[in-house]
Copies of this chain bind each other. A is one copy, B any other.
Amino acid sequence: MTETQILNYALNQFAGIDASAFELSAPYWQRKTYGKGEFYNEYKNVCKYLGFILDGVFRTYYIDDESAEEKNVFFFSKNQVVVAYKSFVTQTPCSYYTESMTESTILYIHINHLTELYGKSHHWERFGRLVAETAFNLAMNRAEEFMFRTPEQRYLELIQNHPDIFNNVPLYHIASYLGIQAPSLSRIRKRMVGK
């Protein structure tokens, strides 16, 4: 399968984008590769593109004004959309950095083209809604993890639900994602050995 076919298939699965609707979008998709540490979008930049990850892992992080620490917010991997959603939707400067953690390849589309597609076809308006719903689920899950679970529970759930991340990301990045410091994660891991 070509990369375009992969994209077509994924969009069909995700939002019922059919051949003719995909045709409308075909001229707009572009391809880009990232080296480890390169940015998809940076702090204060407006995110103008919606990306589809063909291969690789990205992380979105926040830099705390006071502590100057990086706090990981999301991980994105293969066959997922990567986007700084709020910035993209409101076309306002982003609060985050989104960087590639590996060699990565994406296909991406400009917001103006996407907006154009929204106007041209119900399918694409539907796609926009489904992307929004997906973004909502990501954010809500994140909020729930912090509101209802302890760091230890979050750690266990990460291992359960995202072994791909757990296995491919250094522990200090995972600690940050869990909202704790690296030494605390070490203590949690030690505590759990007995169980």
Contact = CB atoms under 8 A, between A and B. Distances in A.
Interface of A: 62, 64, 71, 73, 85-86, 89, 118-119, 122, 125-126, 128-129, 132-133, 135-137, 139-140, 142-144, 146-148, 179
Contacts of A128: 129
A142 B143 CA distance: 6
A73 B133 CA distance: 18
A148 B85 contact: no
Given A125-B126, A128-B129, A71 B136 contact: no
Contacts of A147: 62, 71, 73, 142, 146, 179
Chain A interface mostly helix, strand, loop or mixed? helix
Contact of A133 (B71, B89, B142, B179): B89
A25 to B, nearest CB: 17
A148 B86 contact: no
Contact of A143 (B122, B126, B146): B146
Contacts of A132: 129, 132-133, 135-136
A184 to B, nearest CB: 15
A146 B128 CA distance: 28
29 contacts: A62-B144, A62-B147, A62-B148, A64-B148, A71-B147, A71-B148, A73-B143, A85-B136, A86-B136, A86-B137, A89-B133, A118-B129, A122-B122, A125-B125, A125-B126, A125-B129, A128-B129, A129-B129, A129-B132, A132-B133, A132-B135, A135-B136, A136-B139, A139-B139, A140-B143, A142-B147, A143-B143, A146-B179, A147-B179
